[in-house]
Structure 1
Amino acid sequence: MGYFTKDEWMDGMRNLNVTNNEDLKAKIFDMEESLQDERQFKDFYSFVFPFAKTKTQKSMDVEVALALWEIVLKDRYAHVPLFIDFIRKQEPIKVVNKDQWTSFLDFCKVISVDLSNFDPLSSWPVLFDEYVEWRRDNGL
């Protein structure tokens, strides 16, 4: 996942004005702080998909996606642990495609955790319809 050559790493550090570990720690802190901005976070989230999948695949292995959702989204949105539980218990998919990846962030932002504003006629990926159905069937 995410391979950088030494030259790419060095160019990146130069572009960030990083010359030592303390500079790098400060830049990482600044980057983490910048993710509080919704637009910057969405850009970061969009970057994760192509970074995490292999170059030859159009999709990401579901276990990789689950791990990344836990790292990237778990503390932001209440749907995340429930959605991960659904994927692990129901095993409805083996891979996550780009549309599912991208739509999940929007789903978390738009659909209330109690699912009261979910419209079954909306154009979410089928996986999300299955998630909502699973939640309702299990009283979650």
Structure 2
Amino acid sequence: MTIAPDPATGPDRDAATRLVTNWVALWNGDYALADEIISPDNRVHAAMFDGGDGSAVAGVSGMKDLVGQMRSLMSDLDFSVEVGPVVDGDHVVIRWVATGHYGGGIPGAGAPVGTEVSFHGTDILRVENTRVVEYWLNADTLDLMTQLQVGAG
């Protein structure tokens, strides 16, 4: 699978679509897919809940841990693609929506366990040799934290 554009045909949209399908399935809890689509050299760029920049999340196991941490807050979390994939060279971009029910575990959250939440984000994936080698996450964390009443009251 090559994501990079072919000068004659443009970006390989089919390959990008397959990658995104597996990417979303990973975020929906199919951890085995991480071994297929994440590079051991993967780097993450994101504003993390703990204030970090994502640089501590590395490789396949780091991505599995990141997905697991998010899913531990909402075990029924369901991601779906709203826009994309948009392909630009070796980059693939999607806009997603996630829905689920809060399971507890965020310090300072005033929302009761079971509160339904929905929030959006954009993922930018840089791909080499069919695997994600860099991941930029831009999630609407303010919307999520507002729904969970973090810091309210």
- The TM-score bracket by the shorter chain reads 0.3 to 0.5
Greater RCO structure (CA 8 Å; 6+ sep): 2
More strand by share: 2
Structure of higher CA gyration radius: 1
**TM-score, normalization: structure 2?**
0.30
